[in-house]
Each structure stands twice: as structure tokens, then as C-alpha cells.
Amino acid sequence: MRLPMKNLLYIIALVTLFGANAGFAQEGTKQEEDLTQCLKKSSSEWASTCGSCYNSSKSYRINLKNVCSENLDVKVAVQERSMKWRTFNQNNLAPGDTISSYACEGTGKYLFWNRKAGDKTIVFPTDEEIEKEFSKPGK
């Protein structure tokens, strides 16, 4: 199943604006800005088997890979058809490793945040903040 171009552009815009926000929240040095480019989509799949889902036929799975040499702390949110966001956190994601996140009845939309592992100066949004900001119609 392919995403309509409008949805694809929306996802790219969200990832660009909000996936990169961690680096811009810092002082903006070249090294810190590069960290915003460390997490890349390695694959995605509709209807993949999911042991946590009652019915996997409507599931959406996204895999994001750490393509940098730094360990990362990562937060990923994947949207359910109910407009709620299912979130996943992983601390210390090693270079070359992948975080897999899913929605049982997905829309194909996802968001992510990353920072250098252990850098508590960058605070990820809470699940409540994600729901409030991104569950609105048109978001």
C-alpha cells in the first residue's frame, strides 16, 4: 500500500521540523546540528506481524537507524487511526542499530526526536505533550 503524495509530504515536513528540533534546541554548533541527521528511516512496512497487536493486518511499522558514530537517546511516536500516538523510547542506541516502532492500526505518520546519549539538557516531549500538539485535525 503506497501513501498518497500529500501524506508523504506531510510526514517529511513533520520529521524535518520536529525530528530535527533536538539539535536546534542546543547552542547550534556544527557537531550538535549533525546529530539531528543521525536517525534515518531504514524501512517501513504495512501489515507486519506484531505480537502486541490484536490484529496485525492494519499495523504500520517504522524502523529508524542510527547512521552516526555517536550513541543516541531516541523517542519515536507512531500514530494510530484513533489519532492517538504510540510512543517508544530507547536510550543509548548504538551506531548502526535500529529502533523499531509500530501502530496496531496505523496512519503511516510518525515523529521522532534524538539527542546524544545521556544529554539531559535536551528534553523530549512527554506523551501528553505529543497528544496535545499532534493529535489535532490536520496535524
How do residues 63-117 score in pLDDT, each as one tens digit? Answer: 999 999 999 999 999 999 999 999 999 999 999 999 999 999 999 999 999 999 9
Give 19's DSSP letter. Answer: I
| H-helix or E-strand spanning residue 80 | strand 72-80
Supply the pLDDT for residue 28: 42
pTM for this entry: 0.73
* Count of other CB atoms within 10 angstroms of residue 72: 26
Cβ-count burial of 119 within 10 angstroms (0-12 exposed, 13-18 middle, 19+ buried)?
Answer: middle
Q: Are the CB atoms for 114 and 67 separated by under 8 Å?
A: no
Supply φ then ψ for residue 5, to 5 degrees.
Answer: -55, -35
Distance from the Cα of residue 68 to its chain's centroid: 16
| E strands present in 1-59 | 39-46
For residue 51, which amino acid is it?
A: G
